[in-house]
Structure formats: C-alpha cells, structure tokens
Amino acid sequence: MSRRNESPGDEQPHKRKRPNLRPRASEGASASAAPRIQAPQPQAPSQRQGNSRHPVLWFPDGLLIVVASDGMRFKLHSGILSYHSEIIKGRLAALSPLSTLPSSSVSSAGVSQEVVLHLPEKGDLLGKFFSMIYNGHDQFSYFDLHRCIQFEDFYWILRLAIDFKVKHIVDAGFSRLELLFSSNFDEWATSDKSFGNIDKKGRPIEMADRDTVGVVALVRAAKRTSMLPVALYACSTEADATDIFDGIIVGTEIVSLDAGDRDVCVDARSRIHEIENGTEDIFLRGAFNGLSKNCTSRQSCLAACRRLVLDGSRDMVFRDECPFSRWDIWINREEGKSKKEKLCSRCKEYLNQEIGKHLQKGWEKLGEIFEVQGWSPSRSEGVEE
C-alpha cells in the first residue's frame, strides 16, 4: 500500500495513478447496481467432505455437535462455548435435543442430551476458531501481533468472533488492525513503512489495497467508530472503483461496502484534494518567499524549494491519492539530488514543521470528511523512535 515509504537512496520518484472512483458511463454501474464480480460457487455435495469428524475437536464427553457447511463435524462442550459467547449460549438454549442427524452418526449413549448446531462456515475455519476458544492460542499466530497473518484468515476469524461476540478474539483482532489503521496522527505520520508493516519485527496482516474494503466491513460490524474514519480514508485512497462499487471476494463470499460508505468514499475525494492543495501551497510560498527567517543560505534554499515544486508537479506528488504521507523522506531524497540546490537545516526543519501542522489539521477533519459524528483522533505525548 502506498503510504510513502521511499528511502533517500531511491532513484525513481514516487508516482501512482489515481483511481477513478466513478464508474464509466459505458459500464452502466451505479451504487445500487448488482455486483459484476462472481463469488466462487460452493462445492457440489459429491465434492464435500461429508459427515467427517474433526481429528482433534471431537470430545467423547461433549454434548454439542457442530456441523459445518462442508459436513465437517465437531463434538464440543456447550458450557465452554457458552462461557465465551452469549450468542452461542442463546442459540443453544433455543435448540431441542438432537433429532436432525441420522441415528447411525451418533452414539447411543446420551442421545437425549446431545444437540446439533449447524453453521454456514467451512470446517477448516471453524476448526481454527474453536481451537482458539479452547486453547487460547492458534497455529497461525492470530494472537501474536508480530507474526504475519493472511487477510482472508484474519477476516473470517475476526468476523466469526464479532458475530458470536467472543470478546478476547475481537480485541486481539482490532489490536492488530490498530497497528495499521491508528487514529493517532503521530503514529501514522512517523511510520516510514507501508500499510503492511510494523516496526522491524514483521507484518501484522498480509493484505492488498483492495482488502481495505473488508477492513471497513469489519469495523462496521464491530461498531468500532474510533477506527472508522481511518478505515474509510484508506479504502477511498487505496481501493479502486470496481472494489468500492462491487465489493471484493474473500474466500467464497463477496464483501462489499454499504451504499452510504460507497458514496462517502467518492465524495470525500474533493475534501482530500483540499488537503493536497494546501501542502502544495506551502511549497509554493517557500519557492517565492523563502522558508525560515533564520535561513543561512537564502538563494540556495530558494532554488532547492523551486526544484521541489517542479519535481512534485511533474511527478504528481502533490496529487498523490494518499496526502498523509511521509513528506520528509521525499524532501530529503529530491532536494539532495543537486549539491547546489539543498535546503539549509533550518529551512528543512521549517518546511517539515509547516507540512506537519497542515496535515495534522487535515487529519482532525477525517471524522467530518467521512461523516462519522463525534470522532476525534487519539493523541500521544511523544513519538518513540
């Protein structure tokens, strides 16, 4: 993803084509149009696993049989699941004693006490989910925030936890998302990594730009308002028009934005342009009027700032679809190309401070831009290196 992460030694300027967020008229697309993408079709019954037992999660003393969509069965303890999920507890209370499975598939002992619960998810996913409830850990490191997890696995585990209100799994999932979609501007602005990285220990989620649509869906489902403007901002600037209007495929299902979020992702672009224009104005003022009053080399700094303006205009840096990027890295790289056109330390500090203050004000308006009432970004006293 494209938070600016170039190093001073990069040779190629930062350049990306801005996504067109409105479908072409020839496509006949609208916010309410049926998706053009097709989710993978479910397997035919002959291809399914049948009534196979899970190799581990089949406890002889369990009285709850869970049947996945592909036929995988689990024999679990209703008390353990009910302890972690009020939703499961309520659904079990509404079930009658087992009568929906063939008698040959269940032992005769305790038949009158056993109940069956059918779930629409596949057995592999439910196996991971139930293992996390039973063991408090898992094989693919969901709870280890410094270990990478594929977005599809992450999405469905967290979605199940949200639907069943399993708090410790929901909290762990959003702790991981917080590393990528923090509402704290200092944490966002000082990170020189891409969306998919955290410090030097690894990547929290392996995800593509389009997966930001799924992030918005998760945030909406969990009603995590504090993260919503940042998630919508990432979606509007990272995902392309097809993903925003038609949704994305995660596993075997289409995950899409609701109509309101689709509209706000499009309409927000004009407000984001205002932030971009303000950043360009800072460079333009410096190119003609100078930067710091304490400049030690006025002519050299004027030339350096004018070069930054020309390079930024040529390479569409001032029209980057992600305005809250690390400008200091780009400034260091661009102005250092010519020894005769370098900013003095005071002008460089002044330029970075002015841009930082401007972007901070823009960041504080994300709630207004994306129509999330009552939102305010989190703050920190200082930023650790």
- Give residue-wise pLDDT tens across range 282-296: 988 988 888 888 898
On whether residue 78 sits in a domain, the answer given is: yes
Looking at the domain assignment, is residue 275 inside a domain?
no
Tally of CA atoms within 13 A in the half-sphere of 250 that contains its CB: 27
254 has which bridge partners?
Answer: 249
Tokens 């049989």 sit on residue: 65
Beta strands 253-255 and 248-250: pairing type? Answer: antiparallel
pLDDT score of 231: 93
Q: Is residue 40 part of a domain?
A: no
Q: How many domains does the chain divide into?
A: 1
Pair type for strands 115-118 and 64-67: parallel
- pLDDT, residue 315, reads 75
Residue stretches of the chain with pLDDT short of 50? 1-36, 42-49, 98-112, 192-201, 381-385
Residue 142 counted as domain residue = no
| 361 in any annotated domain | no
For residue 92, the enclosing domain spans 47-135
Whether 385 is in a domain gets the answer no
Interatomic CA distance for residues 304 and 343, integer angstroms: 6
Per DSSP, helices labelled H in the chain are 78-84, 86-93, 123-135, 151-164, 167-178, 185-189, 212-222, 228-238, 241-246, 259-289, 298-314, 327-335, 345-364, 366-369
CATH of the domain at 82: 3.30.710
CA distances (Å), origin 344, targets 113, 260, 324? 80, 48, 24
The whole-model pTM stands at: 0.75
Which pLDDT does position 151 carry in this prediction?
92
Does residue 31 belong to any structural domain of this protein?
A: no
pLDDT at 41: 53
> In which region does residue 136 sit, left (phi positive, over 0), alpha (psi from -120 to 50) or beta (all else)?
left
Assess if residue 71 is contained within a domain: yes
